[in-house]
Amino acid sequence: MSEVRHNWTKEEILDIYNKPLMELLYKAATIHRQHHDPNTVQVSTLLSIKTGGCPEDCGYCPQAARYHTDIEGNDLMTVQQVKAQALRAKSSGSSRVCMGAAWRNVKDGPEFDQVLEMVRTINKLDMEVCCTLGMVTENQAKRLAEAGLYAYNHNLDSSEEYYKEVISTRGFEDRLETIDNVRKTNVTVCSGGIIGMGEKEEDRAGMLVALTTLNPQPESVPINALVAVDGTPLEDQEPVSIWDMVRMVATTRIVLPETQVRLSAGRTQMTREGQALCFFAGANSIFAGDKLLTTPNPDVNEDMEMFKLLGLNPQKPFIKKMQPQTVEAENSQFKPLGEKPKWSRPDHKIERNEEAKQKAKALK
């Protein structure tokens, strides 16, 4: 059985990433089998509960208000709308709903109370509930936990060095702090990143070093291939090659043996053969549903056909960790503190982010 290590070096990880492919696949598949059932894949459905208009400048993101993209913004969904979508997801084989909001951070108030009610409602449907709402404080993480949240997604996105080339409105250390706040509760951590943003292999390895250093390591790690959206600073990036994706998945599997590795954004570009290689290399989770947050994803029926073809079974909910108990709002132990989160705003200039912002201004 391979051990969980928190002291991987970038060089060791790069050596793994660049192994001859057959050796890399064999090693990853061996470790995968030691820690997981290779024929089970966890299925999550994404739901954008609040779309667009985000104040941050993440260079990959179509939801940043400052860029000119075609997405349709929406106010926060109602609890009833979310419940209807969750039931649909459940009937199509998903064990988890991941609710995303285009927020920099959670703010105490009626909208957060509404999100807490969504968490309670989905947990009562016996599905795992995940949220990705931007930065959270410890008190907010505790309120989410109390409502029955199973996982919180907050990605490192890239290496600490390359992160500065993509986002200028908040620092890498703020991401670590949010993850730390989530860790103070019994909510599991989902944190990964994106490849194909122009980073070097060293940055991919650097991101994995940062993820492996976390103790405990994240229970799930999404590996996204950049979806290059028109109007964003990264609109001209070349699509990620399947070989890079397979190498990234395999390396992630080797250095994070117990984690569920999720094949995330970018699957519409991948063939079934390519995805099968990723599953062989240790991916054991996907986002299902015809939409990610704002961009397309493969059709659920096609995914289920692929599962059948490959002999894969969707994972049942609460296999890795018990279902949390939901505490009703009126019995809550935690009061909103109305905290103003402190975050470091490096505010350095990223040339391509500035250009995309100016282009958007000119188009308005």
Give me the residues that bind ligand SAM (CB under 6 A), please. 60-61, 100, 102-103, 132, 134, 154-155, 157, 194, 224, 226-227, 229, 265, 293
The catalytic position among 130, 131, 204, 253 is: 130
Which span (108-116, 158-166, 291-299, 344-352) binds ligand DTB, by CB under 6 A?
291-299
Binder of ligand SF4 out of 28, 43, 46, 61 (CB under 6 A): 61
Distance CA 349, CA 136 (A): 25
Distance CA 124, CA 148 (A): 9
Distance of closest approach, residue 198 Cβ to ligand SAM, in angstroms: 13
Distance of closest approach, residue 123 Cβ to ligand SAM, in angstroms: 20
| Alpha-helical regions (H) of the chain | 10-17, 21-35, 79-91, 110-123, 138-147, 160-163, 172-183, 201-213, 242-255, 272-280, 300-310, 351-363
Does the annotation count 278 as an active-site position? no
Q: Does 269 bind ligand DTB (CB under 6 A)?
A: no
State the angle between helix axes of 79-91 and 110-123 in degrees (0 to 180), rounded to the nearest 10. 30
Burial 183-210 (b: 16+ CB within 10 A, else e): bebebbbbbbbbbbbbbebbbbbbbbbb
Does the annotation count 131 as an active-site position? no
Instruction: Report the greatest alpha carbon distance in the chain.
Output: 58
Cβ proximity of 259 and 221 under 8 Å: yes
Binder of ligand DTB out of 52, 59, 62, 317 (CB under 6 A): 62
Comparing CB distances to ligand SAM, the nearer of 32 and 233 is: 233
Cβ proximity of 135 and 179 under 8 Å: no
| Residues in region 204-223 near ligand DTB by CB under 6 A | 222
Distance CA 242, CA 255 (A): 20
Site string for ligand SF4, 114-153 (x = CB under 6 A): --------------------x-------------------
**Contacting residues for 106 by C-beta, under 8 A, at least 6 apart:** 112, 115, 133, 134, 135, 136, 137, 140
Which span (60-68, 72-80, 91-99, 219-227) binds ligand SF4, by CB under 6 A?
60-68
Q: Does 178 bind ligand DTB (CB under 6 A)?
A: no
The catalytic position among 58, 170, 175, 183 is: 58
**Helix or strand or coil: residue 20?**
coil
Please provide residue 183's backbone torsions phi and psi, each rounded to the nearest 5 degrees: -65, -15
The catalytic position among 96, 204, 247, 262 is: 262
Distance of closest approach, residue 318 Cβ to ligand DTB, in angstroms: 20
Length of the chain: 364
Please provide residue 37's backbone torsions phi and psi, each rounded to the nearest 5 degrees: -80, 120
Q: Does 260 bind ligand DTB (CB under 6 A)?
A: no
Strands (E), 226-332: 260-263, 283-288, 313-314
Which span (17-25, 53-61, 80-88, 207-215) binds ligand SF4, by CB under 6 A?
53-61
Distance of closest approach, residue 166 Cβ to ligand SF4, in angstroms: 10
Binder of ligand DTB out of 133, 210, 293, 306 (CB under 6 A): 293
Residues that bind ligand SF4 (CB under 6 A): 54, 56, 58, 61, 63-64, 102, 104, 134
Positions marked active-site? 54, 58, 61, 98, 130, 190, 262
